[in-house]
Chain A
Amino acid sequence: MSPTTSVSSIRRSVALVWRSLRSMRTALVLLLLVGLGAVVGSLVPQVGVADARIAQIFRDHPLRARIYDQLGLFDVYGSWWFTILYSLLLVSLVACILPRTRALVRNLLARPAPARDLASMRHYAEVAVGIPPDRAIAHARRVLRRKRFRVSRPNGATALAADKGLAREAGSLVFHWAFLLLLVGVVWGKGTGFSGQAVIVEGETWTEAHASYDGQIREGRFFGEDHSGVQVHVEDFQATYRPTGQPADFVTRATLLDEQGGVLQPVEIRVNHPAEADGVRFYQFGYGWAPVIRVEHDGEPIFDGPVVCQQGDAPEGVSPLQVPWRCVVKLPSLRPQIGIRFELWPDSRGLLSLLETGRAMPMLVAYAPVMTWEAYEGDLRAELVQSVSALDTSAMRKIGSGALGAGETVDLGRGVRVSFRELRQYTVLTVARDRGMWIVLVAAILILLGLLPALYGSRRRVWVSAEAEGPGTVVKVGGFALQRGSRFEEEFSRLVRDLGAVLREGSRDARERVGA
């Protein structure tokens, strides 16, 4: 085989692939496959949405989990096959709309093309009038223009070609291009942005930087490490509840500061009302309790500050507001090391009702808070990766337990004294930056704007010719609609009626002038 034939055969196969991508059928199948992929994603638990359930599948059905994992079923929307599918859809989309856009532009620039055989058209009518063809055409032109047709008159002919409704095709193209723009906005915005969670205790200041998130952050593929450095100083957090225990509102009152600590603005961040600084947005996400604990060893403070407590798991049928919050204080500097596990009852009436009736009342506000504690000594096994809120007691021994009210101090022995100084709240904010959001919004609006003419518009074409017949003229009108044929029938007859009226009036004027 000579190199030229192999080149031309490659070219032929590329042309073939391109042609099949250009076909609407391919685009349609790809579109439905993308939908099918999304369905799979909604049935199989997804990374970042249902991590706990994925872990459970890995525990209970390791083989199935591995197969799923290999196929990317736990992360459908980021999997190789979903990427291939939507990339192919994009290419097919471009292949479909590029020639159509060229054709539309050509069509917009060109004048409506003349036609010959009007009588064989779907809609056809004749009007006989008493004015010369030239004048009749001039009248017809005015009528069509008034009805907002594009009208052209071929050189030297007493005929018109008119069309209307290019907005349909234009709308359809706007819709499809905007769909592409939307995807570009999504990919760029997510790729260059980030989204994380900030845990901030009342009275503390948090700086927007990678390390501040404690790993609770997802950064985009093209993220340039350009965190804003904006600071958030939380004055207080307020959760209000209705008498039924249903949450009514969550508000974080805070001050936003710039990198240098200059005050930007005081804000109230609540659900549905995020705050923004330097393109970074702060959303109310959650909250919790943070007791301020001070530990002294031989009179020297070795720990002093708020401890973030996690909401305990509520058993079936019990509200999370009825269970105590859990937190841990680790004292690695002591020999032997000491770890204390706390269970916080922000409202001590919750604990009392549990002891009295076996059922805790929901704890909505702080009321004489109390913590039960269990202290252990031994090896904290800090060399193992573990969460700050978990205490590994496998190499430890229990040295005591008890209850501790706010403002109280307990002596653990060994010179260690633990004080529960006060109870604060912490707020959890979702912190995110997505610069592509505005592109996505504009694209979405364009999609909607394009959709309306694309669905409801229709392309209509009309031709008029005037021929002298005896003393007068026969005006022939022909036309058809490419869509919504039944509606055009009415429009066409109205057009002919109006045309007839104008022409007859024109010929009456002409007669009167001749008579005068």
Chain B
Amino acid sequence: MSGGTWARISTDAFTVAFFAYLAAMVAAFHHLAFRRRVVWAVSVALTAGGLAAHLVSVVARGLAAGRVPLGNMYEYSLVLSLLVVAAYLVVVEGLARIRTLGGFVLAFAVLTMAVAALFLEVGPGPLVPALNSYWRQVHVGSMIVSSSLLALGGIVTMLYLVKERSERRRAASPRPILGGAVDLEALPPHFEASAGEPVPTRWGGVLPSAAVLDRLAYRLIAFGFPIWTFGIITGAIWAESAWGRYWGWDPKETWSFVTWVIFAGYLHARATSGWAGRRAAVIALVGFVSLLITYYAVNLWIVGLHSYAT
């Protein structure tokens, strides 16, 4: 098949994946609100179907360009969102068996793909000489794998902060007299009193406990962090052969270091008395923002050696 055919297949599969995720996201939020098992199953099935189409899109893109599809921001976004969804299915749904986080993860994937399609799309094609190196696959591959894990960790951290706050409020506020016999956790949000009252469980109630979210976020970040470290190291090795120095405070390098420092700070904070829990989570959240800056802002707004990746 010709490159053009593969390119079309890639775009079509991208569209299928995008709308499958969008539908899955709506279903996941519906499940979060109304707890219908069937809707959850539909959501997971749509996610898995979307993931298959997504994979087709990535492979077809590679075939169209005649190389590993990790050459520009559009392709990074394509692979990043693929890995985030895959990691979510394997780690969150599969290993941790948490069924309430799908909507948030899919929202991230859908946003990433939308940004890619709207702002970053370029046709498949060959690369400039500096990108012609097998380090590209190793460096970019590990950066994207770790980005997807750290991003997932960031999403879970956000939910942790929501849940932790609602748990704290819940502990602080007295139980409603009439609601004493009712398990508030089990109620969908529209059963809750609306105005005037503290509404500790509006969002928090349907999420897994703060302790579970905290542990999950930690595992994702602890998994992603060494891969990020590896990515920085391979990037430095590549930079040495391409640009004549292994480190030059190029904006992308600087921000990858900043992200590394923040997540290192998070890992340390969890082991520091008085910092574990909310403070550590805030650090992880700052790390998530830094990750997004490293990923997008540096390429789109700050001029540097990595600019050709747009």
Interface residues of A (CB under 8 A from B): 24-25, 27-28, 31-32, 34-35, 38-39, 41-43, 46, 49-50, 77, 186, 195, 242, 244, 246-250, 270-274, 281, 283, 285, 430, 432, 434, 437, 440-441, 444-445, 447-448, 451-452, 455-456
Q: How far is the CB of B130 from chain A (nearest CB, A)?
A: 5
**B232-274: contact bitstring with A at CB < 8 Å (1 yes, 0 no)?**
0100111011111111111100110110011011011101101
**Alpha-carbon separation in the docked complex, A27 to B247 (Å):** 24
Task: List chain B residues, Cβ under 8 A from A24.
Answer: 268, 271-272
Whose C-beta in chain A lies nearest to the C-beta of B269?
A28
Task: List chain A residues, Cβ under 8 A from B246.
Answer: 434, 437, 440
Please tell me the size bucket of the interface on B.
35 or more
Pick the contact of A49 from B240, B247, B248, B269 — CB < 8 Å? Answer: B248
* Inter-chain contact B225/A281, CB cutoff 8 Å: no
* Inter-chain contact A448/B226, CB cutoff 8 Å: yes
B303 adjacent to chain A (CB < 8 Å): yes
* Inter-chain contact A444/B233, CB cutoff 8 Å: yes
**Alpha-carbon separation in the docked complex, A274 to B241 (Å):** 6
Whose C-beta in chain A lies nearest to the C-beta of B248?
A49
Whose C-beta in chain A lies nearest to the C-beta of B261?
A35
Task: List chain A residues, Cβ under 8 A from B229.
Answer: 447-448, 451
Q: How far is the CB of B46 from chain A (nearest CB, A)?
A: 32
**Alpha-carbon separation in the docked complex, A186 to B240 (Å):** 13
* Inter-chain contact A250/B249, CB cutoff 8 Å: no
Given A24-B271, A437-B240, A35 contacting B250 (CB threshold 8 A):
no
* Inter-chain contact B233/A42, CB cutoff 8 Å: no
Q: How far is the CB of B61 from chain A (nearest CB, A)?
A: 18
B296 adjacent to chain A (CB < 8 Å): no
**Alpha-carbon separation in the docked complex, A247 to B129 (Å):** 7
Task: List chain A residues, Cβ under 8 A from B135.
Answer: 272
* Inter-chain contact A38/B262, CB cutoff 8 Å: no
27 A-B pairs (CB sep. < 8 Å): A28-B265, A28-B268, A31-B264, A31-B265, A32-B265, A34-B261, A35-B261, A35-B262, A39-B254, A39-B255, A42-B298, A49-B248, A49-B304, A247-B128, A247-B129, A271-B132, A272-B238, A283-B242, A283-B244, A437-B246, A444-B236, A445-B233, A448-B226, A448-B233, A451-B225, A455-B225, A456-B222
Q: How far is the CB of B215 from chain A (nearest CB, A)?
A: 8
B209 adjacent to chain A (CB < 8 Å): no
Task: List chain B residues, Cβ under 8 A from A34.
Answer: 261
* Inter-chain contact B262/A41, CB cutoff 8 Å: no
**Alpha-carbon separation in the docked complex, A52 to B251 (Å):** 16
**Alpha-carbon separation in the docked complex, A285 to B304 (Å):** 15
Task: List chain B residues, Cβ under 8 A from A186.
Answer: 247
**Alpha-carbon separation in the docked complex, A273 to B134 (Å):** 12
* Inter-chain contact B244/A274, CB cutoff 8 Å: yes
Q: How far is the CB of A196 from chain B (nearest CB, A)?
A: 10
Task: List chain B residues, Cβ under 8 A from A274.
Answer: 241, 244
**Alpha-carbon separation in the docked complex, A274 to B126 (Å):** 22
Given A31-B261, A242-B126, A250-B129, 20 other A-B contacts at CB below 8 A?
A38-B249, A38-B257, A39-B254, A42-B251, A49-B248, A186-B247, A271-B129, A271-B242, A272-B238, A281-B244, A283-B241, A283-B243, A283-B244, A441-B237, A444-B233, A447-B229, A448-B229, A448-B233, A455-B222, A455-B225
Task: List chain B residues, Cβ under 8 A from A46.
Answer: 249
Given A24-B271, A34-B261, A281-B244, A248 contacting B249 (CB threshold 8 A):
no
Pick the contact of A272 from B241, B247, B255 — CB < 8 Å? Answer: B241
Task: List chain A residues, Cβ under 8 A from B241.
Answer: 272-274, 283
Task: List chain A residues, Cβ under 8 A from B250.
Answer: 49
Q: How far is the CB of A1 from chain B (nearest CB, A)?
A: 37
**Alpha-carbon separation in the docked complex, A7 to B304 (Å):** 53
* Inter-chain contact B254/A272, CB cutoff 8 Å: no
Given A28-B268, A31-B265, A271-B242, A248 contacting B126 (CB threshold 8 A):
yes
Task: List chain B residues, Cβ under 8 A from A455.
Answer: 222, 225-226, 267
**Alpha-carbon separation in the docked complex, A24 to B257 (Å):** 20
**Alpha-carbon separation in the docked complex, A451 to B238 (Å):** 22
Q: In B125-144, which residues have CB < 8 Å from any A CB?
A: 125-126, 128-130, 132-133, 135
